[in-house]
Copies of this chain bind each other. A is one copy, B any other.
Amino acid sequence: MKKTTIHDIARELDVTFSTVARALNDHPAISVATKAAVLETAKRLNYQQNKLASSLRSGRTNVIGIIVPSLDTSFFSSVVHGIERVMNENGYSMLLYQTGESLAQEQKGIETFLQSRVDGIISSVSSEEKGLAFYGQICKRQVPLLFFDRAIQNLPVPSVTINDYQAGFVATEHLIKQGYKHIAHLTSDQNLTIFNERFRGYRDALAQYGLELNENRIFKGRLSLEFGKSSLQQLLGQHGPLDAIFAAEDYTAMGALQMLLERGIKVPEQVGVVGFANEAFGEFVTPSLSTVDQQTIKMGEETARLFLKLIANKDYYGTTPEHIVLDPILISRRSSQLK
């Protein structure tokens, strides 16, 4: 069964195909009569516009590419959810690519997007230094680019992130204000700004409240339940005092929490715990887990909106890039409430 084209409709109505094209695009200079006729026959013949042809000709695809580390993460899937909804409302489709934190995949994704002539790329990078090269290429090609959550700092590209420094600060400050004094930090060994910033916030909060930063209480690894557990095992093996944990991610915090409970250590009475990301389980566990909310859906929506705003005025790369920084929201639950 051949697909019907504007030529088929034209033949049917004895007009030229360009008249049909105009009618379908609701061109002003077409009589209401022919428009109606065209629309009717289009429907009757089951016409579906071929976007490949129209995009090839017009140079616009109304498709944007999205790159994320993985969708099997509530954070990213939630942000993508937000992006898709807003972009969709504005007539865009989304091509999706997961990198699994692999640079080769990221490269491949960008290549595919460029070849597919997407109208823009929205990305959360896997590695900041190493990605510089190929993201630079996108800029040179003048393809609109936007980062969310994880941005490459020394690239003049707009971004939507949360204030990770502040997040690290308020999480730590919260623990301090509750009366905890010996606060460990579990963070990622990935060299990403988001984690460095959370750490900076942690460090500065300690300093501001006159608490000492103890290197032995800082653990870096692949964030996960297991990492939280093993870190706690080590921490509890040390002689130094310890009365709180600030983990840069909730599963890690959960691992810490579990190890504490296993050892019969009372949370929050003896040790307080704060996580990061506001995963769904946090509010249901016992004791409920304090955390930092990253406003995922809002981040997605803001990302989409900023993107739409920026591609609205022609020269995307003409103006200085705008950076939207969302405020993190501290969620204080039982696991850190000493008072």
Contact = CB atoms under 8 A, between A and B. Distances in A.
Contact of A85 (B78, B88, B98): B98
Interface string A70-86: 11101001101100110
A148 interface: no
A32 interface: no
A114 B93 CA distance: 13
B56 A84 contact: no
A189 to B, nearest CB: 23
Nearest to A61: B52
Interface string A53-97: 101100001010000001110100110110011001000011111
B50 A52 contact: no
Contacts of A55: 52
Contacts of A286: 285-286
A116 B52 contact: yes
How many copies of the shown chain assemble into the complex? 2
A116 B51 contact: yes
A142 B111 CA distance: 30
Nearest to A105: B88
Interface stretch (A167-175, A209-217, A276-284, A320-328): A276-284
A228 to B, nearest CB: 12
Interface in A118-173: 137, 140-142
Contacts of A98: 81, 84-85, 88
A297 B112 CA distance: 24
A115 interface: yes
A49 interface: yes
A289 to B, nearest CB: 9
Interface of A: 1, 3, 46, 48-53, 55-56, 61, 63, 70-72, 74, 77-78, 80-81, 84-85, 88, 93-98, 100, 105, 111-112, 114-117, 137, 140-142, 254, 258, 279-282, 284-286, 297
Given A74-B77, A93-B96, 15 more contacts: A1-B141, A50-B56, A52-B56, A52-B116, A70-B81, A71-B71, A71-B80, A72-B81, A81-B98, A88-B105, A93-B97, A93-B112, A94-B97, A280-B281, A281-B284
